[in-house]
Amino acid sequence: MAQRTVIMLGIESSCDETAAAIVAADKTIHANEIASQIDTHAKHGGVVPEVAARAHLEMIDQVIRDALANAGMTMADIDAVAATGGPGLIGGVAVGTVTAKAIAAARQIPYYAVNHLEGHALSPRLADDVAFPYLLLLVSGGHTQLLAVVGPGQYHRYGTTMDDAAGEAFDKCAKAMGLGYPGGPAIEAAAKDGNPKSIALPRPLKGSANCHFSFSGLKTALANRLSQLGGPKAAPLADLAASLQVAIADCLADRTKMAMARFLQAFPPQDGNQPVLVIAGGVATNKHIFTCLQKVADASGFRLSVPPAKLCTDNAAMIAWAALERLDAADDLGFAPRPRWPLDPEASPPPGRGVRQ
pLDDT tens digits for range 302-341:
999 999 989 998 999 999 999 999 999 888 899 999 999 9
Look at residue 115 and give its three-state secondary structure.
Answer: strand
- Strands, E, within 210-299: which ranges? 276-280
Q: Determine the average pLDDT of the residues in 87-92.
A: 93
349 to 28, 210, 355: CA distances (angstroms):
38, 12, 7
Helical H runs in 72-201?
90-107, 116-122, 124-127, 166-177, 183-191
Q: Are strands 134-139 and 276-280 parallel, antiparallel or unpaired?
A: parallel
Three-state SS for 265?
helix
How far from 41 is each of 56, 63, 188, 310, 318, CA to CA, in Å?
Answer: 13, 19, 20, 20, 24
Q: What is the mean pLDDT of residues 56-67?
A: 95
Please count the other Cβ atoms lying within 10 Å of the Cβ belonging to residue 2.
4
- Residue whose C-alpha is closest to residue 139's, from 20, 238, 256: 256
Q: Tell me, which fold does domain 131-306 have in CATH?
A: Nucleotidyltransferase; domain 5 (3.30.420)
In the sheet that holds 7-12, the strands lie side by side as 29-36, 17-24, 7-12, 80-86, 111-115
**pLDDT over 60 at 354, yes or no:** no
Between CA 315 and CA 186 the distance in angstroms is: 21
Residue 37 pLDDT grade (very low, low, confident, very high; cuts 50, 70, 90): low
Nearest-Å Rg of the Cα atoms of the chain is: 20
Q: Which 8-state DSSP code applies to residue 275?
A: P
Give 148's Cβ-side CA count (13 Å radius).
18
Domain 7-123+311-324 indexed as CATH 3.40.50.300: no
Lowest mean pLDDT across 38-42, 125-129, 343-347: 38-42
Identity (one letter) of the amino acid at 12? E
**pLDDT tens digits, residue range 179-214?**
988 899 999 999 999 999 999 999 999 999 999 999
pLDDT at 42: 63
pLDDT digits (tens, 9 = 90+) for 237-288: 999 999 999 999 999 999 999 999 999 999 999 888 999 999 999 899 999 9
**What is the Cα–Cα distance from 216 to 353, expressed in whole angstroms?**
11
Going from N- to C-terminal start, the domains of the chain cover: 7-123+311-324, 131-306
Task: Provide the strand spans (E) within the chain.
Answer: 7-12, 17-24, 29-36, 80-86, 111-115, 134-139, 144-151, 154-160, 276-280, 303-305
Q: What local confidence, expressed as pLDDT, does residue 356 receive? A: 43
Mapped onto helix, strand or coil, the DSSP state of residue 134 is: strand
Residue 26 contacts by C-beta under 8 Å, 6 or more apart in sequence?
5
Q: How many CA atoms lie within 13 A of 338 on its CB side?
A: 16
**What pLDDT is stored for residue 13 in this prediction?**
94
Are 22 and 78 a contacting pair, CB within 8 Å? yes
What totals of helices (H) and strands (E) does the chain contain, helices first?
12, 10
- The predicted pLDDT at position 348 comes to 82
Cα gap 287→277, rounded to integer Å: 16
Confirm whether 7-123+311-324 and 131-306 share one CATH topology: yes
Q: Are 244 and 226 in contact (CB under 8 A)?
A: no
Per-residue pLDDT band at 45 (split at 50, 70, 90): low
DSSP one-letter code for 108: T
